Structure 1
Amino acid sequence: MIRLIPPITAVETIAEGPSIRELHRLRQQYGPGRWRKKKGIALVETDDGAHQPAEIHWYEAHGIGKVKTKVKRWL
């Protein structure tokens, strides 16, 4: 289990609307909204208590918030 330590910096939108491959599943699971896939850099706390910067990706929609956050690569 990982834990993000705010703030998330260098936030970019990498896909939105129909460009998102998982759009149908996101709408089924979390509801309709203007879905965007985003990426950014954040400090991550690992299971052993170490803090390490990582590139993270997540989906978000207005009124729903961030969902499915995952580490894409360690920096």
Structure 2
Amino acid sequence: MYFEIQGTIEDIEPIAIGSSIRDLSRLKKQFGPGRWRKLKGTTNVKLGNGHVRRAEVHWYEAHGIGKRKMKIKRFLD
């Protein structure tokens, strides 16, 4: 599903850090080594059909690498 983040991500919370991430070896292989964290937050997203909805998003992030593998987990409205 294609979407764009509209505005800022709020209420950011860590879900997993370092070795507690299930996909850690895949992340290191694909994007490089780093202090990987899995995070979640809420934001407005613009969907492919043009609708804007409030959603909870999850993503992986490492210092110097940035946000990767962002996905919509559920809609909040």
| TM bracket (short chain) | over 0.9
Q: Distance in 1 between matches of 2:61 and 2:11?
A: 16
Please state how far the C-alpha of 1:6 moved relative to its aligned partner: 2.0
Partner of 2:15: 14
TM-score, normalised on structure 2?
A: 0.95
Q: Distance in 1 between matches of 2:16 and 2:6?
A: 24
1:40-61: CA deviation from partner (whole Å, max 9, x where unpaired): 0010001111100000000000
Misfit runs of 4+, over 3 Å: none
Partner of 1:71: 72
Q: Distance in 1 between matches of 2:61 and 2:7?
A: 17
> RMSD of the alignment, in Å?
0.5
Partner of 1:62: 63
TM-score, normalised on structure 1?
A: 0.98
Question: Could you tell me which amino acid in structure 2 is paired with residue 51 of structure 1?
Answer: V
* Identity value in percent: 53
Q: Distance in 1 between matches of 2:50 and 2:60?
A: 26
Partner of 2:26: 25
Q: Distance in 2 between matches of 1:10 and 1:3?
A: 18
Structure 2 residues without counterparts, runs of 5 or longer: none
Aligned pair count reads 75
Structure 1 residues without counterparts, runs of 5 or longer: none
